[in-house]
Structure 1
Amino acid sequence: MFNAITVEATFHLAHAIKQQLSHQLESQDLGIASMHVRVLKVIGKSNASTAKEIAELFKRDKAQITRLINQLIDQGIVQRKPNPDDKRSQLLELTSSGQALQEILRTLSDEMESKMTQGIEAEDLATFTKVAQNMTKNLIRY
């Protein structure tokens, strides 16, 4: 049975992860926020994303995502290129600086995951991952 304790524990974990990520980003003086990291991950993985697709993925306003992307472009981390499939949109890709930043972020993420999972058995982590994915699917359905 699902209860408020489960919701509260999940909220605290998500908050702790976000706080840790923000602390890591500040301590590295990278000039980006956690939402920038999420956008960079999507662009880095697909290398063919549009602002509209990112906005839909994160269920955010396109104008908000466009402002965020423009900040990344101004920092030289992301660039736009023509979309051969749709002349009305542009594809986003990481610049060489963006790719270097992606490596730094990957290292920070690995370090954070190592701290977060310290002392937890692999079997318990696998169970946690499965349960968390199922909970996410359940919430997305509604």
Structure 2
Amino acid sequence: MKKKRTVHEVAFRLSYDLSTQIAPKLSKLDTKPAPLQLRAMRQIWNSGECTLLEISKTLKRDKSQITRLIDELCATDMVKREPNPKDKRSKLLKLTAKGYEFFETIEKIEAEFSAQLIEGIPQEDLDTFFAVSERLSYNLREKVKPYN
């Protein structure tokens, strides 16, 4: 009797396969931020600018950890802090020219990778995959209680 597959089993396998396939491509880059730094940079890239608190909430890490992470990115001239005109107590985080150029390269690598990954999959199936993935992600963030 064949064992029934579970969502988390498939998600773990997909995540592992994706990371092992794209890692060699990313390892050829001159700059090699840590995965959490990449996630923070992606949030800044996607939004154009954001605050430490926004990144902290998205990445579910404490503000002091994100502060250290952003300090490292600022030290490598990938991210910069600017005054927040809406809140004098906080700073806006933006990619520097170097950070922007780096993320353009990341986007090109990921676009080529994605094109190969989705080859032969109908758009309707991709739309369903994205909708289900978004719902799974939402449920994980908002509804699933951590196991203690």
| Pairs within 5 Å for 1:65-104 | 65-104=66-105
Structure 1 segments unaligned to the other structure (5+ residues): none
Structure 2 segments unaligned to the other structure (5+ residues): 144-148
Partner residue, 2:110: 109
1:27 matched to 2:28? The reply is yes
Question: Cα RMSD (Å) of the superposition?
Answer: 1.8
Once the two structures are superposed, what CA deviation does each residue of 1:28-82 show, in whole Å capped at 9, x if it has no partner?
A: 2322122222211211222331111100111112122112211111111111111
Cα 1:67–1:21, aligned 2, differ >3 Å: closer, same or farther? farther
Runs of at least 4 residues off by over 4 Å = none
Per-residue deviation, 1:4: 5.0
- Structure 1 CA distance for aligned equivalents of residues 67 and 109 of structure 2: 26
SS at match of 1:79: strand
- Given the two structures, how large is their TM-score scaled by the length of structure 1? 0.86
Partner residue, 1:121: 122
Aligned-residue identity in percent:
36
- Given the two structures, how large is their TM-score scaled by the length of structure 2? 0.83
- Structure 1 CA distance for aligned equivalents of residues 22 and 72 of structure 2: 19
Paired residue total:
140
Partner residue, 1:54: 55
Letter in 1 for 2:132: V
Partner residue, 2:18: 17
- Structure 1 CA distance for aligned equivalents of residues 70 and 87 of structure 2: 19
SS at match of 2:32: coil
Letter in 1 for 2:106: L
